[in-house]
Amino acid sequence: MKSKDLRRTGMEMRQKLLGEDGQKALEKLQKHNPKIARWAVENLFGEVYGNEVLDLRTRSLCTVSALIALGNEGPLTNHMRAALRIGITREELGEVIAQMVWYAGLPAAIRAINILDRLPGE
Amino acid sequence: MKSKDLRRTGMEMRQKLLGEDGQKALEKLQKHNPKIARWAVENLFGEVYGNEVLDLRTRSLCTVSALIALGNEGPLTNHMRAALRIGITREELGEVIAQMVWYAGLPAAIRAINILDRLPGE
Amino acid sequence: MKSKDLRRTGMEMRQKLLGEDGQKALEKLQKHNPKIARWAVENLFGEVYGNEVLDLRTRSLCTVSALIALGNEGPLTNHMRAALRIGITREELGEVIAQMVWYAGLPAAIRAINILDRLPGE
Amino acid sequence: MKSKDLRRTGMEMRQKLLGEDGQKALEKLQKHNPKIARWAVENLFGEVYGNEVLDLRTRSLCTVSALIALGNEGPLTNHMRAALRIGITREELGEVIAQMVWYAGLPAAIRAINILDRLPGE
Amino acid sequence: MKSKDLRRTGMEMRQKLLGEDGQKALEKLQKHNPKIARWAVENLFGEVYGNEVLDLRTRSLCTVSALIALGNEGPLTNHMRAALRIGITREELGEVIAQMVWYAGLPAAIRAINILDRLPGE
Amino acid sequence: MKSKDLRRTGMEMRQKLLGEDGQKALEKLQKHNPKIARWAVENLFGEVYGNEVLDLRTRSLCTVSALIALGNEGPLTNHMRAALRIGITREELGEVIAQMVWYAGLPAAIRAINILDRLPGE
């Protein structure tokens, strides 16, 4: 795929997953570090999330799992919000968190529960 | 669910995911630390993997993602082998690894590729 | 031990270590993820902390050591407060932190000092 | 070198890198954990930063790289500020951050960009 | 304490904890990086392990806990061997490992069990 | 820069840093995961290492620092070998390792010393 097409696909995937907040974050990133912004759009969102070998639901839960293990609160919040946005339920996220107790430990899981609890939604 | 039923479900899930190797590992664990062995069977494999809120494919890829991020080679090998055993393809695992480049870094992803490369299969 | 007894032991140990704050945290956990709440009470606090092979002082300092290494600020705060609650002195905590400089690095140790400094006490 | 000389060199290096804020942090550390304070001054700043096998610019960027990988926000902020203080440019820090995308992952790099963005300076 | 005394205390503590193997490791370290060798003897083993605010048993179990969380296999092996050498039992180590399941995750705990299983002893 | 040029620059930088071994590793990566191989050549080695805002010596030591902190032995070995290849001395690497004692802990630093000790060279 050409760079222009990757960019378009990447922007669409970002919109689908991260919504308006992701747009603002991208503009900021673009201003401060355009190289990283390009990688995030074309390579991560275009080539990875935009690739249909795995469906978006699975990709979203894999990212949430890795971020629970890595323990970086900001991106974990954004990606749990993204999961809810694409239709993953709170019950499903709760199951991934319960699974992560065993790989990443109880404190990492409880942090994820607290983040999920603060996210708006029905 | 009663403890006896959790144990049966857990043993079935372990067999499905980890096969005979998992059985031997469990016997060793049972001998050295029966409490942890019980948690692994009843709580992790019985209550988590045996729970149908998420399908086994999704759970397997979430575990692989977390283990790539955590970087513990033995369990990552076991769970990539488990993924292949339940029908996840090498192409799908390769996509999860490509996704993890962006969350866990390139060295962590390359380790996973090397492990996958050494796993037997068509 | 039966589940009912583990639950009672676990609740007692939680009260001893985490006090009223731990009670509120548990209620929240119970509401959002009852499975994890049960594991935390019965398995971690009942079977582990309630087990007398190791005394509570030693267990508490081991948990503090691991949490300094893992760097998760919320649980580290709770478990340093728990250490003070069961009679471990600030001087003793300071020694564990000095020991952790060498295993987890200076920034992780200084974070623990700052947390300890903010904890109320004589 | 004698302890007295290491102390003087260490204090000078701390002043050069961490400025007045570092002085206040040291006084607090000295009060709460004099042993760690001595190590930080004499061993880390005296023997390491004060040692001319590597120039200060290189040392500063190595510390920033390690702290991006370790993900501890407070010390990362202090050491990115230190880098600016000794004349490393925002463009150079941005390049180190772009390099760290590949070793520590995108979320760790974006955290560093956000910290850098909040640091005062022309 | 003077540097000469710290050195003597440190060497004694190293001998007590790490035995002959520790002696060989130290000689190698001394040859390759004398500064780090001095810190390891005088500061870590002399000032920390040689300090009686905490007894050696407690210090040993804290180190084992942190190393299970950090996942560095070589030092974890050395410090579990050290724990056995100073009279901590396999049952006690097994309890610390069970406790660490909840903070560092099951894979980290199972690695520790496998290491303990390979250590010689009655 | 166009993709073709990034590729050429990236291949040159890889050759300079990783030599023949890096060439073989790349062929393997290309076969198993061409997307990651392209990122490694064009984005990491082409856009990052090939970018002259920072000189190669500094970049190399930053990567070594991050890999000591992250604790992944294979890539750390490759990048310490790369550092020697581009003319960084063993004494300079020893200084970076001594610096990392304070950020990543003593066990992480000793692992790096052991790796460096096994690397061939005068």
User: Residue range B46-59: average pLDDT?
Assistant: 97
Chain C interface includes D32 (CB < 8 A) = yes
Looking at residue D108, what is its pLDDT?
Answer: 98
Looking at chain E, which subunits does it touch, using at least 3 CB pairs closer than 8 Å as the criterion? A, B, C, D, F
At residue C1, the pLDDT reads 63
Q: What mean pLDDT, rounded, does chain C reach?
A: 96
Tally of CB atoms within 10 A around D15: 14
Q: Is the pLDDT of residue C3 over 90?
A: no
pLDDT digits (tens, 9 = 90+) for E25-55: 999 999 999 999 999 999 999 999 999 999 9
Query: Average of pLDDT values for E62-73?
Result: 97
| pLDDT computed for residue F9 by the predictor | 97
Q: What is the pLDDT of residue E122?
A: 53
CB pair distance less than 8 Å for A39 and F35: no
Question: CB–CB of A9/A1 below 8 Å?
Answer: yes
CB–CB contact B74 E117 (8 Å): no
Distance between CA atoms of residues C64 and C21, nearest Å: 18
Is a pLDDT exceeding 70 seen at residue F86?
A: yes
Q: Does E121 touch chain B (CB under 8 A)?
A: no
Per-residue model confidence (pLDDT) at position B1? 64
| pLDDT at res. E2 | 77
ipTM: 0.96
In chain E, residues with a C-beta closer than 8 Å to the C-beta of B28 are 117
Buried b (16+ CB within 10 A) or exposed e, F82-109: bbbeeebebebbbbbbbbbbbbbbbbbb
pLDDT band with cut points at 50, 70 and 90 for residue A122: low
Mapped onto helix, strand or coil, the DSSP state of residue E3 is helix
Report CB contact under 8 Å: D105, B104. yes
D43 inside 8 A of chain C by CB:
no
CB-facing half-sphere around the CA of D102: CA atoms within 13 A:
25
Residue E1: how many other CB atoms lie within 10 Å: 13
pLDDT confidence band for E1 (50 / 70 / 90): low
Selecting from A43, A70, A104 the residue whose C-beta is nearest the C-beta of B104 gives: A70
Give residue B122's pLDDT: 53
| C-alpha–C-alpha distance, residues A40 and A18, integer Å | 12
pLDDT at D1 over 70: no
Tell me what the pLDDT averaged over chain E comes to: 96
Average pLDDT value over all residues in chain B:
96
Helices D56-70 and D106-118: crossing angle, nearest 10°?
120
B contact test, residue of F17, F30, F33 with most B CBs within 10 A: F33
Q: pLDDT digit string (tens) for C48-93?
A: 999 999 999 999 999 999 999 999 999 999 999 999 999 999 999 9
pLDDT on residue A121:
77
**Does the pLDDT of residue B85 top 90, yes or no?**
yes
pTM for this one? Answer: 0.97
pLDDT above 70 covers a percentage of chain A that reads 98
Q: Say if the Cβ atoms of E99 and C62 lie within 8 Å.
A: yes
- Please, what's the b/e burial string for A13-49 (b: 16 or more CB within 10 A of its CB; e: otherwise)? bbebbbeeebeebbeebeebbebbbbbbbbbbbbbbb
pLDDT tens, position by position, F18-45: 999 999 999 999 999 999 999 999 999 9
* Position A84 confidence tier, pLDDT thresholds 50, 70, 90: very high
Backbone dihedral region for residue B51 (phi beyond 0: left; psi -120 to 50: alpha; all else: beta) = beta
No. of helices (H) and no. of strands (E), chain C: 6, 0
Average pLDDT over residues D69-95: 97
Query: What's the average model confidence in pLDDT over B47-75?
Result: 97
At residue A105, φ and ψ (nearest 5 deg) are: 95, 160
Cα separation, E103 vs E63, whole angstroms: 15
| pLDDT greater at residue B121 or residue A13 | A13
Would you call A43 and F47 a contact, using CB atoms and an 8 Å cutoff?
no
**Alpha carbon distance C60, C38 (integer Å):** 21
- Contacting residues of B for F32, CB less than 8 Å apart: 94, 113, 116-117
Q: Is the model's pLDDT at D9 over the cut of 70?
A: yes
Question: C119 — contact with chain D (CB < 8 Å)?
Answer: no
Tens of pLDDT, residue by residue over D21-79, are 999 999 999 999 999 999 999 999 999 999 999 999 999 999 999 999 999 999 999 99
At C122, is the pLDDT very low, low, confident or very high (cuts 50, 70, 90)? low
Work out the burial of residue C60: count CB atoms within 10 Å of its CB; fewer than 13 is exposed, 13-18 middle, 19 or more buried: buried
For chain E, what is the largest distance between any 2 Cα atoms, rounded to a whole number of angstroms? Answer: 44
Is A2 a residue whose pLDDT tops 80?
Answer: no
Identify all chain F residues contacting D99, using CB atoms and an 8 Å cutoff.
48-49, 54, 59, 62-63
pLDDT over 90 at F2, yes or no = no
Length of chain D: 122
Written as six digits, the tokens of E64 are: 């084992």
Q: Which residues of F touch A39 (CB under 8 A)?
A: 43
Of F51, F57, F99, the CB nearest to D63: F99
Interatomic CA distance for residues D106 and D102, integer angstroms: 8
Q: What is the mean pLDDT of residues E78-94?
A: 98
| pLDDT given at position A1 | 63
For B105, residues 6+ apart whose C-beta sits below 8 A from its C-beta are D102, D103, D104, D105, F70
Percent of chain F with pLDDT over 90: 93
Quick check: F29 and F40 in contact, CB under 8 A?
yes
pLDDT tops 80 at residue D105:
yes
pLDDT confidence of residue B77: 97
CA distance A110 to C89: 27
Whether the pLDDT of residue D2 is over 90: the answer is no
Mean pLDDT over residues B35-56, rounded? 97
Outline where chain B has alpha helix (H).
3-32, 34-38, 56-70, 73-85, 90-104, 106-118
Q: Average pLDDT for residues E102-115, to the nearest whole number?
A: 98
Residue C39, min C-alpha distance to chain B (Å): 8
CA distance A90 to chain D (A): 23
Neighbours of D82 (CB within 10 A): 23
Question: CA of A75, closest CA in chain D: separation in Å?
Answer: 6
E4 in contact with chain F, both atoms CB, cutoff 8 A: no
Under DSSP, the state recorded for D54 is: S
